[in-house]
């Protein structure tokens, strides 16, 4: 199956007039008025300006713009905070960018059904802060707190707490969607179980703005755990650290998160933040958190974990049970991406997810690649769920060498991931940048199925074209 | 969008020869050799014989049969244990029935990644028994333990433990599928996070054998909770009992299940089983379970729940912490469906799921219908997740009156569910019997989207046609 691209209508004066008529002048931007920020995402590897940017305030506006785009064969791309890493929100075929950021109201907290209904542009950090006041908790915890909730939904963002609590998809109960025709539908709702027709909700989660535009989301909340503790365990090397993880997962201690980190990433974070990490003497660390409703429950769990860790070769157990100590650890963890970015000229990332029993093998393989290609590679990530964040650094390499090596290193890594029965992306998505690797992983039959699903939603292929499977 | 049906090729001698050649004579059944059991499911409201039944032993056989059906325009329906309640496995257009029951091997237990890989015909009860030996737990717990795992996957079966642990979909990590073309694909895997292309796995869960045939499943396991306790709380009436549920869900006690039941259903179960329930003096009951890894943890939770229940009007708190007392309660709960069935001549069921804050309102509405239509209606179900099982009993009504009243009562119930923002089915699915109610709930735009998704998988519409959205 081939999809015809580049047969879209270019935006003209008529179109701009239509949008101004609909939204007023202040919410329509074209030409030089379009901010450079909107031409790329956080990692910036790919860039392209939209022909027009429209700022929307409600579902009806989204619907009318998309219906217009559908009728006139104009590509349309929804845009949130632009914190993506794979170019999913970059309008590679130009056209209309719908800036969703001003649809950022929290609409309803339902304390009986434990749901929060939000507009798509609400920021992740605002959700956590808001529900905390009601002694409630929205567990998904991706590193980038200034992402919008619809961005999180569209990448099915995971984050650190996935080990215990699952990923964004697990906390999306219902969605209001604008389909590529402009029609508005609702899927799911405030129900716990649902076996009523095909599961559109979970198909939209992770679809990177290519199947429908999320205009409202009903999120699941849970009671806020009262207590939490973090444990830092230094190890002689990363293999030993990661090797301990399957035994932790099998134990009945139910950790909230299990992160791994290496000394040089910690040193980079210390330098970047100008703050000391509690320990930087060991080569590798596991960082675990536990939460629960009583000090005793949490203590019981981390005590038994401490014993497991020591048996598995941990050199020490550092317990962070005060806000100050937790802050010292987690602010460093939160700064890893920025710290690595600041240490080089340019970088690209690989976000594979492998079975947790294969994490050590994959990380060791990246060491081998580092030597083989003479290129710096930095790892950190979620040992507890097998999702690695691997950064390949350009440093002072010339353009041609960088492009060549990056492409080779990526090829090796994704091949290795496939060999280990891993997946191309754990939480950052495919977008534009990872298409070839998804294609290599899936093969023609599956890829073709994805393309047919795309066309089932979007027969004219106007919604965020050129992404994921196209 | 309309779908052409009944333009299928009828099975002839050539086809039978092909199947015998492929499978041998002993695994191909036609004409009078086809068991009557295979012409209907558990509830039996709709029946139709397949033209041929083939018993398969492996994926390759499934693939070849489906490819043959695709090539020759023959409808094909996969069949497990036939414990469904909505006719999803009934071959309403005849054709080939693939009996999957002999593909029933447990293929691999992976103790490092906590997964169990199984063939589709493995029974739910066998999974629980198998993993228990390894101190592991497969949480989904639908009432019908003799269902196959692929049947559970295809209805996204929920069960009693959904309150704490979620539904079948949450425990399916990966699937091997035979597409309607006969091609074999794998989706998901032993990974915890996945954001690599559209989420086919979760679309298949709950698709009732209409999009692909499940030939292998990788299930998620968790460590087995060591302790569990059940609590039975009698109330003056069902409204008070169910009214307590939102406060329980909001408390930090994390119950595994919250069931509601009424005296006359309990009496029916007592009579059916010839065994006494621990108490039958109150009009209504909540039955809760708690599990955890220490007696103290479980005790702490049920003590604080007992206080909440008493404050909400519970007349007493009966604690079942011995195997004997638990058995007395749960064997009755497990017999409700059979006991109600035995108390009447014929019945049909409604399995709506409403927000938990609306359960009492819905149940009260069924009382009103009972009077209005002079027909017996029995309720029980999952108060903790809003999934009701409502049974409408024929008793001695004449055919015409029964059909008329049943249809009117259903219409009222599904309208009410829609008004309460509920869903047509919580866990039994749509199949054939509930199609008109799904259609009424979704409306044309959404229904059309489902139909296009169906055709994206199955362009010739040969796989289990006439179900869900068709």
pLDDT at A6: 55
Torsion of CA A418, A422, A425, A426, to 10 degrees: -170
pLDDT at A434: 95
Contacts of A192 in chain B (CB under 8 A): 158, 162-163, 353, 356, 384-387, 426
pLDDT at B126: 98
d(CA A365, CA B385): 45
Are B196 and A423 in contact (CB < 8 Å)? yes
d(CA B65, CA B85): 26
Q: b/e map of B180-199 (b: 16 or more CB within 10 Å)?
A: bbbbbbbbbbbbbbbbbbbb
pLDDT at A1: 44
Residue B420 pLDDT grade (very low, low, confident, very high; cuts 50, 70, 90):
very high
State yes or no: pLDDT of B171 exceeds 50: yes
State yes or no: pLDDT of B1 exceeds 50: no
What CATH number is associated with residue A17? 3.30.43.10
Q: Are strands B76-79 and B96-99 parallel, antiparallel or unpaired?
A: parallel
Range B363-384 average pLDDT: 94
Helices (DSSP H) in B335-443: which residue ranges? Answer: 336-342, 359-373, 399-419, 435-442
Give A115 to chain B, closest Cα distance, Å: 10
**Residue A4 covered by a domain:** no
What CATH number is associated with residue A425? 3.30.70.2740
Contacts of B456 in chain A (CB under 8 A): 449, 452-453, 455-456
Which domain covers residue A142, as residue numbers? Answer: 106-223
* Residues B212 and B252 occupy one common structural domain: no
Are A195 and B156 in contact (CB < 8 Å)? yes
State yes or no: pLDDT of B2 exceeds 50: no
- Please report how many Cα atoms fall inside a 13 Å half-sphere around the Cα of residue A347, on the Cβ side: 22
**Residue B69 covered by a domain:** no
Are B197 and A468 in contact (CB < 8 Å)? yes
pLDDT in tens, B383-402: 999 999 999 999 999 999 99
Three-state DSSP at B364 gives helix
Structural domain total, chain A: 4
**Residue B440 covered by a domain:** no
pLDDT in tens, B222-236: 999 999 999 999 999
pLDDT in tens, B99-128: 999 999 999 999 999 999 999 999 999 999
**Residue B204 covered by a domain:** yes
* Residues B283 and B373 occupy one common structural domain: no
Query: How many helices, marked H, and strands, marked E, lie in chain A?
Result: 15, 18
* Residues B112 and B194 occupy one common structural domain: yes
Q: Which candidate from A112, A193, A453 shows the least CB-CB separation from B385?
A: A193
A257 with A288: CB under 8 angstroms? yes
* Residues A361 and A406 occupy one common structural domain: yes
Give A459 to chain B, closest Cα distance, Å: 10
pLDDT at A203: 98
* Residues A193 and A249 occupy one common structural domain: no
Sign of CA dihedral B354, B358, B363, B364: negative
Contacts of B170 in chain A (CB under 8 A): 166, 170
* pLDDT tens for chain A, residues 1 to 470: 444 555 899 999 999 999 999 999 999 999 999 999 999 998 877 999 999 999 999 999 999 999 999 999 999 999 999 999 999 999 999 999 999 999 999 999 999 999 999 999 999 999 999 999 999 999 999 989 999 999 999 999 998 999 999 999 999 999 999 999 999 999 999 998 999 999 999 999 999 999 999 999 999 999 999 999 999 999 999 999 999 999 998 888 899 999 999 998 999 999 999 988 888 899 999 999 999 988 888 998 889 999 999 999 999 999 988 888 888 888 888 889 889 999 999 999 999 999 999 999 999 999 999 999 999 999 888 999 999 999 999 999 999 999 999 999 999 999 999 999 999 999 999 999 999 999 999 999 999 999 999 999 999 999 999 999 99
| 3-state helix, strand and coil shares in percent for chain B, rounded to the nearest 5 | 40, 20, 40
**Residue A6 covered by a domain:** no
Cβ atoms within 10 A of the Cβ of A325, count?
16
d(CA A72, CA A18): 12
* Residues B315 and B382 occupy one common structural domain: no
End of a domain among A309, A338, A367? A338
End of a domain among A338, A360, A386? A338
Q: Which candidate from A114, A170, A194 shows the least CB-CB separation from B426?
A: A194
* Residues A31 and A67 occupy one common structural domain: yes
Give B286 to chain A, closest Cα distance, Å: 18
Q: Which of A112, A143, A197, A443 to probe by mutation at the B interface, max B CB count within 10 Å?
A: A197
d(CA A254, CA A296): 14
Are A193 and B252 in contact (CB < 8 Å)? no
Q: Which residue of A has its CA nearest to B159?
A: A193
d(CA A189, CA B423): 8
**Residue A445 covered by a domain:** no
What CATH number is associated with residue B252? 3.30.70.2190
pLDDT at B6: 55
Q: Which of B139, B147, B145 is nearest to B168 (CA)?
A: B139
Phi-psi region at B177: left, alpha or beta (left = phi > 0; alpha = psi -120 to 50):
beta
Contacts of B414 in chain A (CB under 8 A): none
DSSP labels for B108-160?
EEETTTTEEEE-TT-BHHHHHHHHHTTTEE---B-S-TTSBHHHHHHHT--BT
**Residue B436 covered by a domain:** no
End of a domain among A306, A338, A370? A338
Three-state DSSP at B459 gives coil
Q: Counting one residue from A and one from B, how many pairs have CB atoms under 8 Å apart? A: 267
* Residues B190 and B264 occupy one common structural domain: no
Torsion of CA A213, A122, A383, A413, to 10 degrees: 40
Q: Which candidate from B113, B179, B423 shows the least CB-CB separation from A191?
A: B423
* Residues B152 and B165 occupy one common structural domain: yes
Residue B381 pLDDT grade (very low, low, confident, very high; cuts 50, 70, 90):
confident
Contacts of B454 in chain A (CB under 8 A): 198
DSSP labels for A297-360?
HHHHHHHHHHHHHHHTT-S--EEE-SHHHHHHHHHHHHHHHHHHHHTSS-EEEE--B--GGGHH
A383 with B152: CB under 8 angstroms? no
Contacts of A447 in chain B (CB under 8 A): 197
d(CA B313, CA B440): 38
Are B195 and A251 in contact (CB < 8 Å)? no
From residue A364, give the alpha-carbon distance in Å to each of A283, A337, A378, A383, A419. Answer: 14, 20, 12, 14, 15
Give A50 to chain B, closest Cα distance, Å: 24
CA angle A372/A375/A378 to nearest 5° reads: 110
Q: Which of B183, B111, B107, B118 is nearest to B152 (CA)?
A: B118
What CATH number is associated with residue A167? 3.30.465.10
B351 with B345: CB under 8 angstroms? no
Contacts of A250 in chain B (CB under 8 A): 111-112, 114, 223
Burial class (CB in 10 A: 0-12, 13-18, 19+), B67: middle
Contacts of B192 in chain A (CB under 8 A): 158, 162-163, 353, 356, 384-387, 426
Q: Is the ipTM of this complex over 0.90?
A: yes
**Residue B361 covered by a domain:** yes
Q: Which of B174, B186, B198 to probe by mutation at the A interface, max A CB count within 10 Å?
A: B198
Q: Which of A395, A388, A402 is nearest to A360 (CA)?
A: A388
* Residues B193 and B264 occupy one common structural domain: no
B235 with B284: CB under 8 angstroms? yes
* Residues B173 and B240 occupy one common structural domain: no
pLDDT in tens, B257-269: 999 999 989 999 9
Range B418-442 average pLDDT: 95
* Residues B184 and B232 occupy one common structural domain: no
Q: Which candidate from B252, B296, B454 shows the least CB-CB separation from A293?
A: B252
Q: b/e map of A23-37 (b: 16 or more CB within 10 Å)?
A: beeebbbbeeebeee
């Amino acid at each position: 199956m081939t999809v015809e691209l580049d047969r879209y209508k270019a935006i003209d004066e008529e179109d701009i007039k239509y949008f101004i008529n609909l939204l007023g002048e202040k919410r329509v931007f074209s030409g030089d008025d379009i901010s450079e920020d909107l031409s790329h995402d956080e990692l910036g590897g790919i860039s392209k300006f939209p022909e027009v940017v429209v700022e929307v305030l409600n579902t009806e506006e989204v619907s009318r713009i998309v219906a217009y785009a559908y009728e006139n064969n104009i590509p349309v791309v929804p845009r949130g905070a632009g914190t993506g890493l794979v170019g999913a929100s970059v309008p590679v075929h130009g056209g209309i960018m719908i800036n969703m950021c001003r649809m950022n109201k929290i609409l309803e907290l339902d304390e009986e059904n434990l749901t929060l209904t939000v507009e798509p542009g609400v920021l992740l950090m605002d959700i956590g802060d808001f529900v905390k006041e009601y002694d409630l908790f929205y567990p998904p915890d991706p590193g980038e707190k200034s992402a919008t909730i619809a961005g999180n939904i569209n990448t099915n963002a995971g984050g650190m707490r996935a080990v215990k609590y699952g990923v964004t998809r697990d906390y999306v109960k219902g969605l209001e969607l604008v389909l590529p025709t402009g029609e508005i539908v609702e899927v799911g709702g405030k129900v716990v179980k649902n076996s009523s027709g095909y599961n559109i909700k979970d198909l939209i989660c992770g679809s990177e703005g290519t199947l429908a535009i999320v205009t409202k989301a009903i999120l699941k909340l849970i009671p806020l755990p009262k207590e939490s503790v973090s444990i830092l365990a230094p190890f002689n090397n990363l293999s030993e650290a990661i090797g301990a993880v399957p035994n932790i997962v099998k134990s009945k201690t139910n950790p909230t998160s299990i992160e791994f980190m290496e000394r040089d990433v910690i040193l980079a974070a210390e330098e970047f933040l100008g703050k000391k990490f509690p320990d930087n003497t060991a080569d590798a660390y596991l960082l675990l958190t536990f939460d629960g409703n009583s000090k005793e429950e949490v203590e019981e769990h981390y005590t038994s974990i401490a014993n497991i860790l020591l048996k598995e070769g941990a050199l020490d157990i550092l317990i962070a049970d005060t806000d100050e100590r937790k802050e010292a650890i987690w602010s460093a963890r939160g700064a890893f991406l920025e710290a690595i970015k600041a240490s080089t000229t340019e970088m690209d990332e690989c976000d594979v997810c492998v079975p947790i029993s294969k994490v050590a093998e994959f990380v060791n393989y990246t060491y081998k690649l580092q030597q083989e290609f003479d290129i710096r590679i930095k790892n950190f990530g979620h040992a507890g769920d097998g999702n690695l964040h691997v950064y390949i650094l350009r440093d002072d390499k010339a353009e041609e060498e960088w492009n060549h090596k990056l492409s080779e290193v990526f090829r090796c890594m994704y091949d290795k991931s496939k060999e280990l029965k891993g997946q191309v992306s754990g939480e950052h998505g495919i977008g534009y940048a990872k298409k070839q690797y998804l294609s290599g992983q899936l093969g023609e039959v599956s890829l073709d199925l994805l393309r047919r699903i795309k066309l089932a939603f979007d027969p004219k292929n106007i919604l965020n074209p050129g992404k994921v499977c196209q």
